[in-house]
Amino acid sequence: MKRNNNEYSYIQPQVDNKRKKKKRKKKKGGFGKAFLVIIAVLVVLIAAGLLSVKYVFTDFYFSSVLQNKEVADFVDENIIGRTTTTTTTVPRETTTETTTLPQVSYLEHSDFEFEAAKRGAMIGNILNGGKVDKDNGIVYHIVDGRGIYKFLPESESYACVYKSSDTLSSFNIRGDYFYFVNESDHALYKVTKTGKNLAKVADNVMLAYIYDTTAYCISTNNEVVAVNTQNFTPTVLYSGYGDKVNLIGVSLDRVFFTSEDMSGNVAYLCVLSAGGEEERFRPDSKNDEITSLSMENGFMYYYEKQVDGKYNIIRQKYGSQRTVTLVEGVSLCKPVIVDQNRMFYADLDGDKLKMFELNMNSDATKTMLSSGNVTANDNVFIQHGGEYDFIIGERSNGDKIYRASSNLTGSSNVMTFGDGKWSY
């Protein structure tokens, strides 16, 4: 049917308008799609950059450069996955008693920036008996019943620099002095590196860790005590009142420790080194679900019990809720020793005690030293002295163990100490 001019002139403008609207809509849609593509490319580039941080810079944390802790932890833990190892744990039981103690959930990284020249021994060595320390490339070690020996790695020559017929422990080297606890009278002493000018620093000491001019001690009365090593002035920071108190570590202005009651409930506490009220820094535990916790450079290392009764070694950055499983299925729970990016731990392989080194960057593990005829009940511990590692202790039958090996040689190249002499 032929349209008249009036009909055509009325419909055609509407059709033209619809076509123009469609063209404008297509243009807008094209721009939106292009914008989304650009955003997607940027996300991929950012993700690639974060992945390069994860796999190339294996020990980098954004929390060290970002001031906002929540943002830094989100990037470190949820995007990079720096501490995303999943662990299987026994359901945690908490103590039934409520507490009004505040919880210190976060400290600045600067609180753990220690000066190397002011440090005494590694906290792991101290918690394992404190028999070995190093100073300027020289290894010093205690031999019970004989005294303190000086060992030169370059020549493997040695000499007794301080004679003592007693059992000594908590060996720290600070400046020109040796510090140690004499277990015969439970006193902390200092003596020059030449073995002269012996002086008593404090009485009633079970364990001592030195930083700068302060000895952080656990007393025979289950107290945490700070002692000035210059004027020998003691300050009681915490009293256990019958509970068993153990040292964990220190920051620049706090002391960290555990307090365990007779029921096996363990509280994780800290107190300012200048004195004040104690504070909890993590939830309580019980039934050995967490054991042998120590702190080195702002990281906590501990054993976490698994459903099969064995333990995993866990690392946890102070202030973070995420954990990393470093080693699985360990049967011994002796405190670990941390030296920079390496962690040393002990475990049993049948009746053989082995000392392992874990590179925490590469996850590579190697055996450093071993000793046979050892059981879980024997009083045998590991020590780390720079280039040389030690297994020291006593079997249940009274036999002594004193072995060492250089980490530059094979684990089978072992020295033993007896009758005042080192021998291969």
Mean pLDDT computed over every residue of the chain: 86
Provide the residue type at 102 as one letter.
P
Question: What's the pLDDT score for residue 102?
Answer: 76
Looking at residues 228-245, what average pLDDT do you find? 96
Tokens describing residue 139: 């290894």
Return the pLDDT at 58. Answer: 44
Least confident residue range of 78-82, 209-213, 217-221: 78-82
State the Cα angle at 153 between 418 and 415, rounded to 5°: 30
CB half-sphere exposure, 271, CA atoms < 13 A: 22
Q: 44-96: per-residue pLDDT in tens?
A: 566 556 555 554 444 455 544 555 545 555 555 555 554 434 333 333 343 33
d(CA 265, CA 276): 23
Average pLDDT on 409-414 reads: 86
Alpha carbons 247 and 273: distance in angstroms, whole number: 13
DSSP string, 20-76: HHHHHHHHHHHHHHHHHHHHHHHHHHHHHHHHHHHHHSTT--GGGT-S-HHHHHHII
Q: Is 15 a residue whose pLDDT tops 50?
A: no
Q: Once rounded to an integer, what is the mean pLDDT over residues 381-410? A: 95
**Helix/strand/coil for 289:** coil
pLDDT for residue 6: 42
pLDDT at 103: 84
Return the beta strands (E) in 99-243 as ranges.
132-135, 138-143, 147-152, 157-163, 168-174, 177-182, 187-192, 199-202, 205-211, 214-219, 223-228, 234-239
**Inter-residue contact 131 to 171 (CB < 8 Å):** yes
Buried b (16+ CB within 10 A) or exposed e, 40-64: eeeeeeeeeeeeebeeeeeeebbbe
Query: For residue 263, with 0-12 CB atoms within 10 Å meaning exposed, 13-18 middle and 19 or more buried, which class applies?
Result: exposed
Residue with tokens 């590179």: 359
d(CA 168, CA 133): 13
Question: β-pairing, 177-182 with 187-192?
Answer: antiparallel
Neighbouring CB atoms inside 10 A of 109's CB total 15
- For the segment 248-265, the average pLDDT, to the nearest whole number, is 97
Sign of CA dihedral 286, 288, 289, 294: positive
Dihedral pair phi/psi, residue 129, rounded to 5°:
115, -25
- E strands, 51-197, in order: 132-135, 138-143, 147-152, 157-163, 168-174, 177-182, 187-192
Question: In Å, how far are 3, 12, 105, 183 from 280, measured between CA atoms?
Answer: 91, 81, 8, 31
**Phi-psi sector, 243: left (phi>0), alpha (psi -120 to 50), beta:** beta
What pLDDT, on the 0 to 100 scale, is given for residue 33? 62
Q: How far apart are CA 240 and CA 263, in angstroms?
A: 14
pTM: 0.78
Per-residue model confidence as pLDDT tens digits over 134-155? 999 999 999 999 999 999 999 9
Return the number of other C-beta atoms located less than 10 Å from residue 411's C-beta.
18
Check whether 4 has a pLDDT greater than 60: no
Q: CA 76, 248, 381, 198 torsion: positive or negative?
A: positive
Q: What is the pLDDT of residues 280-315, one digit of tens each?
A: 999 999 999 999 999 999 999 999 999 999 999 999
* 189: phi then psi, degrees, rounded to nearest 5: -120, 160
